Structure 1
Amino acid sequence: MANDDKLKQDGAKQDGAKAPPPPSPAEAMSTAHEVEELADKLSECADSIHQRVMRDIRRHQGQDVPEPEQMAARALLNAEMELRQRANRLYAEAAACIVSSLGQPQAHLIQLTVDAADKIKRITRIGDGITLVARLLGLAAAASTGQVVPILAAVDGLKTQLDIVAIDNAPPLPASSA
């Protein structure tokens, strides 16, 4: 979906008007450009991982970083590298990764990765972050197969993890005054 179309949809949502219908299921990852767009978003998620790890390290202001945090940072940096490698493979194999029978609009897949990149930056529980990154890696791996079933499973897993992160990062409910 072109950026102009996305902006028009967002503007329509803000104005209270109905957004135009999403693309047909046959349009999901049905061109090399759409596969490349997914690879772009996965690369942006890798950028978010890197920024998050560096922010967490800088927070210690030159002091020793506790061992558990070092281990988590190493795991996230390894995942970042793997996510970049998988995104690069998607770029290289874009034409072979086309999946026309996916049944998921391309915009939906892209929005999931945008949401993931945003949540990586703001996540409060490191375990949620590691699981979210694992789900992104799963999506990248599944997309490179060009197979519908693994992609749908990966999308479902990513959606579930994004919901978990949203719940874990939600502000606490105010205490009721009874």
Structure 2
Amino acid sequence: MAALALATDKPTKELMEKPPVGQTDPVITNIMWRNLLTQALFQIVVLLILQFKGRSIFGVSEKVNNTLIFNIFVLCQVFNEFNSRDMERINVFKGSQRNRLFWGIVVVTIAFQVVMVELLNKFANTERLSWGQWGACFGIAAISWPICWVFKFIPVPAKPIFGYGRGIANVS
């Protein structure tokens, strides 16, 4: 769903004015690496804290804690969809109001998550959450926005740092 949501944005004037990317250029740019590593580090830290201290932090059973971990993980992906729309844009919401399909996919993803947690307990092996627990899940996932905002001020070199993610021409 996230890939579909991100693919629905129409090209902006700024994007169309950029030079084309060559076949041998890395698929994953330094800017993408910066944002990817930022989000990965944030999510790993949050999920490890919840895995080892979540029960005592929230005062819940192991099954509820596992549901919180699952819920926060999915919501982090939803919030990161906004961060990923334009890797260089400081305002992650700029232009999003024009894309109803993007918002529809975000809403459907959240609705599916609510159904998984609240109604499909046996199928998803989840436990129903209270309103406060849902608020905590959304609040923790929303922390990714200011973190991403801060890290967007870290400049990255234009020359590729990593050789991974090379274009198809370099695979062989």
Between Structure 1 and Structure 2, which shows a larger proportion of helix residues? 1
With a CA cutoff of 8 Å and minimum separation of 6, indicate the structure with the bigger relative contact order: 2
